[in-house]
């Protein structure tokens, strides 16, 4: 069952929520109970989304990623479904203990994760943007710890995360085009071709890099710029790999760049001016 969670992704998402709160309220002074609830709720809902995605993608993964828990036979589809439902429920309950805004975001994201796994991912570009929104919304969720003001203050980072994730999701679709084609899916690379899809992903990645200084200009400390440059380099090489036809390598670099960007947000939010974008 643990393999369904993809713990690394869950932890990164949970950490992003805590960072979202740190942007509004100094990272070193976030209330510990609130931080724990934020991290745990996002961790569980993200894990639930991964599990329900594996439930609906069992046939696709049998072609594209046969070593995943369900196609490899380590976990049954029924067990994955029940596990996902339990995780969604637990994550939403924890969100309700924070405040009404966090509860609303948790419910919305849970519904979107289910819809994505069931059919949105099969629609060209719509599924990519959906995952981009879900990833970026973890910052909004963290900011919501302090109400509507927190959401406004994390809107810029939401946009950056959404753009970077959308680019990576397109790269992943290019990587999976053979299995997706065999099952008749309508992903962006299948509809417009790998080259055009790669060009769009690179264009979105370029916009992300160009907008990356915004948090610094809006109040982050200079440490943000020192770290974000390494994330931008990862994005640059990810785009280069993509244009050369290496979608798998590009996806890994986009993911690495996003992890570094999280670190940049952390160091930038300590000692900076409260951010409003």
Nearest-CA neighbor of 10 among 45, 35, 56, 54? 45
Q: Summarize the confidence of residues 186-195 as an average pLDDT.
A: 88
Ranked by mean pLDDT, the top range of 19-28, 55-64, 207-216 is 207-216
Alpha-carbon separation of residue 118 from 53, 57, 123, 167, 205 (angstroms)? 8, 9, 11, 21, 27
Lowest mean pLDDT among 96-100, 105-109, 186-190: 186-190
Please give the Cα distance from 128 to 121 (Å, whole number).
7
pLDDT over threshold 60, residue 216: yes
Q: Summarize the confidence of residues 91-102 as an average pLDDT.
A: 96
pLDDT per residue as tens digits for the range 197-210: 999 999 999 999 99
Mean pLDDT of the chain: 86
Nearest-CA neighbor of 187 among 244, 111, 131, 271? 131
* Banded pLDDT at 271 (limits 50, 70, 90): low
The answer to whether 238 and 254 are in contact (CB under 8 A) is yes
Alpha-carbon separation of residue 256 from 26, 220, 232, 245 (angstroms)? 25, 22, 10, 19
pLDDT per residue as tens digits for the range 225-270: 999 999 999 999 999 998 888 888 888 899 899 889 888 887 887 6
Of 153 and 164, which is predicted with more confidence? Answer: 164
Give the single-character DSSP code of 220: -
* Banded pLDDT at 28 (limits 50, 70, 90): low
Domains (range + CATH), the chain: 2-269 (1.10.357.140)
The answer to whether 39 and 14 are in contact (CB under 8 A) is yes
**For residue 106, is it left (φ>0), alpha (ψ between -120 and 50) or beta?**
alpha
pLDDT attached to residue 144: 92
pLDDT attached to residue 92: 97
* Banded pLDDT at 79 (limits 50, 70, 90): confident
Tokens 């946009």, located at residue: 159
Lowest mean pLDDT among 11-15, 81-85, 102-106, 146-150: 146-150
Lowest mean pLDDT among 37-41, 140-144, 147-151: 147-151
Q: Give the tokens for residue 83.
A: 């596990």
pLDDT attached to residue 9: 85
Please give the Cα distance from 74 to 91 (Å, whole number).
25
pLDDT attached to residue 84: 93
Give alpha helix (H) positions in 57-119.
58-64, 77-96, 100-118
- Name the β-bridge partners of 123: 186
């Amino acid at each position: 069952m643990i393999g369904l969670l993809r713990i690394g992704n869950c932890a990164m998402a949970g950490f992003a929520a805590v960072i979202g709160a740190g942007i509004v309220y100094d990272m070193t002074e976030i209330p510990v109970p609130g931080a724990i609830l934020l991290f745990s709720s996002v961790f569980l809902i993200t894990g639930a989304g991964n599990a329900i995605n594996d439930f609906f993608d069992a046939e696709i993964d049998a072609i594209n990623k046969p070593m995943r828990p369900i196609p490899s036979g380590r976990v049954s589809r029924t067990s994955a479904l029940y596990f996902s439902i339990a995780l969604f429920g637990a994550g939403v309950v924890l969100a309700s203990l924070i405040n009404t805004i966090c509860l609303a975001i948790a419910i919305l994201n849970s519904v979107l994760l289910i819809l994505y796994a069931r059919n949105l991912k099969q629609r060209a570009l719509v599924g990519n943007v959906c995952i981009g929104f879900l990833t970026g919304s973890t910052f909004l969720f963290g900011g919501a710890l302090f109400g509507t003001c927190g959401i406004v203050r994390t809107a810029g980072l939401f946009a950056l995360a959404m753009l970077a994730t959308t680019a990576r999701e397109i790269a992943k679709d290019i990587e999976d085009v053979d299995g997706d084609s065999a099952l008749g899916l309508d992903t962006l690379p299948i509809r417009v071709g790998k080259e055009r899809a790669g060009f769009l992903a690179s264009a979105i990645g370029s916009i992300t890099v160009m907008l990356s200084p915004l948090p610094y200009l809006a109040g982050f400390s200079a440490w943000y710029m020192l770290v974000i440059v390494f994330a931008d380099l990862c994005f640059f090489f990810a785009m280069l790999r993509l244009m050369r036809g290496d979608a798998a390598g590009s996806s890994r670099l986009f993911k690495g760049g996003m992890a570094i960007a999280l670190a940049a947000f952390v160091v930038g939010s300590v000692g900076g001016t409260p951010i409003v974008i």
